[in-house]
Structure 1
Amino acid sequence: MEKFDQLVKLIEETKSDADKFYNSDVQAAGTRVRGKMQEIKKLAQDIRVEVQDIKNSKK
């Protein structure tokens, strides 16, 4: 559950930059959003693997 909480925190941290990019047309914020989205993607994949491992260990 710790990784899931990290994912939620990372998404919340990205929200302000996403708002700046989409609503205020701040190009630098778009670059930051892309970087954070890459981190989110990696963390989400780690969570998927962890969930699958836990699921398989209970069989």
Structure 2
Amino acid sequence: MEKYNELKTLIASIEDDAVKFYEKGNNAAGTRVRTGLQKVKALAQDIRNAVTAAKNKQ
């Protein structure tokens, strides 16, 4: 559950930069959004693997 909460926190942290990019056209914020989303992707994959391992262990 710790990793899931980390994922939620990471997504929330990207929100400000997403607003800056989409509403204000700040390209640097867009780069930060892309970087953050790459981290989300990796963390989501880690969670997915942990869930699969736990499911198969039962």
TM-score interval (norm. to shorter): over 0.9
Show the counterpart of 2:28.
28
C-alpha RMSD over aligned residues: 0.3
Show the counterpart of 2:50.
50
Structure 1 ranges of 4+ moved more than 2 A: none
Letter of the 1:51 partner, please give it: V
Give the deviation of 1:45 after TM superposition.
0.2
Q: TM-score under structure 1 normalisation?
A: 0.97
Q: TM-score under structure 2 normalisation?
A: 0.98
For the pair 1:40 / 2:40, whether they are aligned, the reply is yes
Aligned length: 58
Give the deviation of 1:21 after TM superposition.
0.3
| Gap runs ≥5 in structure 2 | none
Q: Distance in 1 between matches of 2:25 and 2:52?
A: 40
Letter of the 2:22 partner, please give it: Y
Give the deviation of 1:46 after TM superposition.
0.2
| Gap runs ≥5 in structure 1 | none
